[in-house]
Structure 1
Amino acid sequence: MNHNSPDTAPLSPLPHTGTDRFREALRQVRGEAMITGLAALSLHGFASAPPPGLIDRVDVLVARTRRLRSTGRIRVLRTAELPQPAEIDALAVAPVPRALADAVAALSDAGVVRRLLTEAVSGGHCEPGAVVRELSRARLLTRPHVVDAVDALLAEGRAVAEQRLYEMVREFGLPDPLWNVDLRLPGGPHLGGLDAYWPDQAVAVELDTRAPRQDDDALWSEYTRKREHLERLGITVVHLTPRKLREAMDQQATVVRTALMAASDRQPAAYVVVLPR
């Protein structure tokens, strides 16, 4: 008589080919579960992840209450709260930020970690902040090679956001601004750097490319102080996030256009010196 429950029964060997292995892993685990880690990134189309047929071990994410045991070919990862999965090839697959965190937790190769994280942004899979939140939740930001990779991720995220800002100005017929400038009062203090500035209308755009980190509150206070100072001088500051530019570029173009059109109704701004950044 077999007293094993589905959650405690040994897991069987997996097939040898591609997504069949992933499908069989989910079938054996039963219940609510999803593919995560490198296997999930492969399914999401990451060029820097091995193709499905070359992934020997399949990571499967399940609820913490499940009593499944890992085997040589299936690694069971437990979580207090399962994320909403994506469906790829009829498979439940962890979203990219969670799959990245689960993959990075098992990787020690700094180059591989860096390539995976930067591709998440350059490939348009997700925003940097979502990745950093998952890495922080998994307590991976204390590992030096992960911290280095996060720095590369944030740099890539800013480059992508700047490219989207250029695209927005071009595609929606906005007047050309001065790009990447510093503002100063004549003979006075530095007022801060801006991603785009229309001097005739005294309208500025600043990209918020912060990522969740321990100094986030201090950085936000710095953003706020700069914005308030510029607005006291009569300069309108439009704050854009990479996510808004990606998901609703037309709406952000309307916000900027409205600010430019409203310039004639405002009091003239104080004179400022504009320098290249």
Structure 2
Amino acid sequence: MNHNTPLSPRPLRHLSEVHRGVLSTAQLRAHGVSAAYLTEQCRAGGPWQQILPGVFLLHPGPPTSEERLHAVLMYADRETRAAGVPAQPGAQERAGYPQVMITGLAALNLHGFAGAPPLPQLERIDVLVPRLRRLRSTGCARVVRTPALPDPCQVTGLPVAPVPRALADAVAQLSDAATVRRLLMEAVRGGHCEAASVVRELNQARLLARPHVVDAVDSLVAEGRAIAEDRLYRMVREHGLPDPVWNVDLRLPGGPHLGGVDAYWPEQAVAVELDARAARQGLRQDEDAMWSEYARKREHLERLGITVVHVTPRKLRDSLEQQATVVRTALMASGDREPAAYVVVLPR
């Protein structure tokens, strides 16, 4: 035997179980499968079939949804490695497919979205790859390129794009306004992410110029605020804070309007304001002006002796107890401050 003598194929039954019946040319070669043997196995009516370029299904008949997902990842990752694309930071920690991940509707399905189609109904599965490689879409694989891969979520052992990125890639392929709105609303109502992160991804994908997307985002932002307000009510109730007056405008007696706040404790002169700037990012061009408005209002209130606590929807979702502690500390510290100016409190 010399180095050119083909190896006898090793038993492959165990590979069908370990790799879910999907292997690449390189993996088959590593197990002693020659090109001639592979061609013979993939003949018409044979036991194997090529599902994507360089990716083979080790059984006849249609692939399962799991096999299609692995085939798409294997195809994209194999081509990316073959092109010599350097692994991005953190790639070594990603099991299986370090430089690619499932995105779009397939990813939303894996994240548990009821509004995403079942995997068998998807003709194509979106796969996110580095932009350095112009990998072509083919078969059931649709390639989506990005200058920087996000950190993936591991779902059933597969690298899957985070919900905001998966939503943006799904929306890019959708023209039905009702479907877009349903998916965006489910993201927030289902607790998958905050409206701000979705709007940011849609803006980066340049999708906010599409009227049906803008309409859906307007509803998304309103829904996100309603959910954040509900969490704010729950924070006060569950963590034993004194009841404030809710959603009020503050004015100086006979003077100018000072601005609205979401909660206000008149005796302690403490206000809580939900920071909605991040959720609106991308929907308006005057973000600097909006920030200046927030800063100006806060500065004016604090000059009058009113403590303003800013909270974000994400903080209310992820650290409700910590936010309650911040508010409680502000209320307790009121006795150590100079009395605040008298302000008129009106319903908003």
TM interval, shorter chain, is over 0.9
Q: Deviations over 1:66-115 (max 9, x none)?
A: 24221242101111111111000111100111111110111100111111
**Helix, strand or coil for the counterpart of 1:270?**
coil
Matches within 5 A, 1:71-110: 71-110=138-177
1:227 aligns with 298
Q: In structure 2, what is the Cα distance between the partners aligned to 1:206 and 1:13?
A: 56
Quick one: distance in 2 between partners of 1:177 and 1:13?
A: 64
- Rounded to whole Å, the distance in 2 between the matches of 1:61 and 1:171 is 42
- Structure 2: distance between partners of 1:16 and 1:176: 58
Distance 2:259 2:213 in 1: 30
Is the 1:18–1:54 Cα contact (8 Å) retained in structure 2? no
1:188 has 2:255 as partner: yes
Identity %: 72
Unaligned runs of 5+ in 2: 1-24, 27-51, 79-98
Name which of 45, 69, 75 aligns with 1:28: 75
**Scaled by the length of structure 2, what TM-score is found?**
0.74
User: Higher relative contact order by CA 8 Å / sep ≥ 6: 1 or 2?
Assistant: 1
Tell me the residue number matched to 2:310: 239
**Residue in structure 2 matched with residue 269 of structure 1 by the alignment:** 340
TM-score (ref. length: structure 1): 0.93
User: Residue in 1 aligned with 2:135?
Assistant: 68
Q: Which region of structure 1 is more displaced relative to structure 2, 262-271 or 100-109?
A: 262-271
Residue 151 of structure 2: SS of its match in structure 1? coil
Kept in 2, the 8 Å contact 1:19–1:53? The answer is no
| Aligned 1:1-277 pairs, distance under 5 A | 10=53, 15-31=62-78, 32-210=99-277, 211=279, 212-213=281-282, 214-277=285-348
Q: How many Å apart are 1:236 and its aligned residue?
A: 0.7
Preserved contact between residue 10 and residue 69 of structure 1 (Cα < 8 Å): no
Q: Secondary structure at the match of 1:30?
A: helix
**RMSD, aligned α-carbons:** 1.8
Rg (Cα) greater in structure: 2
Gaps of at least 5 residues in structure 1 are none
Contact 1:13/1:73 (8 A) holds in 2: no
User: Could you tell me whether the CA contact under 8 Å between 1:105 and 1:140 is conserved in 2?
Assistant: yes
Q: For structure 1, which segment, 35-44 or 75-84, has the greater mean C-alpha deviation from structure 2 after superposition?
A: 75-84
Counterpart amino acid of 2:306? I
**Contact between 1:208 and 1:239, CA under 8 Å: does it hold in 2?**
yes
Residues 55, 71 of structure 2: 8 Å contact kept = no
